[in-house]
Amino acid sequence: MSYLIDSHCHLHDREFFTSEQAEKMLARAHENGVEKIICIGTSHEDSLAACEFASAHRNTYWTYGIHPENAGRVLAEPIFSSATPAEPVAIGEVGLDYHYEGYDRGAQIRLLEEMLQLAMDNDLPVSFHVREAFFDFFPVVANFPEVKGVVHSFTDNKGVLKRILNETEFYIGVNGLATYSTLPLPPLERILLETDAPFLTPKPFRGIINEPAYIRNIAEWLSDKLGLEAKIIERETTKNVEKLFHLSDTVFCANDSV
């Protein structure tokens, strides 16, 4: 049986979703053939919330990450030990973001390096957040050639996309933003579908909160855009997500010792 995966959302985050909303959205996702979702951590505390949420729901996974906006505010804490069965499917979202004034470039780079080392030490892929900072991103990741990952919500130009495709093996996250913009698209074999819910709601639902069920709409848009049957989009993007994140593995979250 074929199905879709939301490879990047924040359904666990109570700043955006109540528990009741999250439960209803999970049900709608499954009704729309979105069988698996990955909840993305953005701080130590938020990652633990993602872990707790994932442990309580079927086919729901989590990542550990410290978003670049938190660089310089906190240090990454040790999260793994042989004494706990808890394990995220990735490190993320982590990266560089120079969009807003007042960012600390050095602190962001140091945090990214720490997160990349954490990924290498634990043989985990990385979910990258990179905005207006690819000139620093490429030199940093070049020092970690073993790391696999996805550039979540790519928003740059064709030249940068070409560099990612040619210089790395990273996938590209395609979400609702693609349905109402002129962003360049990677080839299907490098695409992961994501919502980034509650953000970046796709057409025709713009103006309301995003949710994992809308992966179906993004897949249909991509089918039209690429001129491929919907079942091909579904099969290939699902295969890409499962290959990168090893979603066939069982993921536990035992306690806050991770």
The 10s digit of each residue's pLDDT in 77-105 is: 555 544 333 589 999 999 999 999 889 99
For the chain, give the percent of residues with pLDDT over 70.
91
The 10s digit of each residue's pLDDT in 146-200 is: 999 999 999 999 999 999 999 999 999 999 999 999 999 999 999 999 999 999 9
Contact 193, 175 (CB under 8 A): yes
| Average confidence score pLDDT of the chain | 91
Q: Are strands 34-39 and 4-9 parallel, antiparallel or unpaired?
A: parallel
Question: How much is the pTM?
Answer: 0.93
Kindly indicate the confidence band of residue 73, based on its pLDDT and cuts at 50, 70 and 90.
confident
Q: Where are the domains of the chain?
A: 4-225+237-245
Q: Is the pLDDT of residue 1 over 80?
A: no
Nearest residue to 190 (alpha-carbon basis) of 207, 214, 169: 169
Q: Is the pLDDT of residue 215 over 80?
A: yes
Give pairs for 161-165: CB < 8 Å, separation 24+: 161/186, 163/134, 163/138, 165/190
Q: How far is CA 178 from CA 170, 185, 206, 217, 219, in A?
A: 18, 8, 12, 11, 11
The 10s digit of each residue's pLDDT in 118-157 is: 999 999 999 999 999 999 999 999 999 999 999 999 999 9
Nearest residue to 233 (alpha-carbon basis) of 67, 65, 3: 3
Considering the four listed CATH numbers 1.10.1060.10, 3.40.50.300, 3.40.50.700, 3.20.20.140, the one that applies to the domain covering 4-225+237-245 is 3.20.20.140
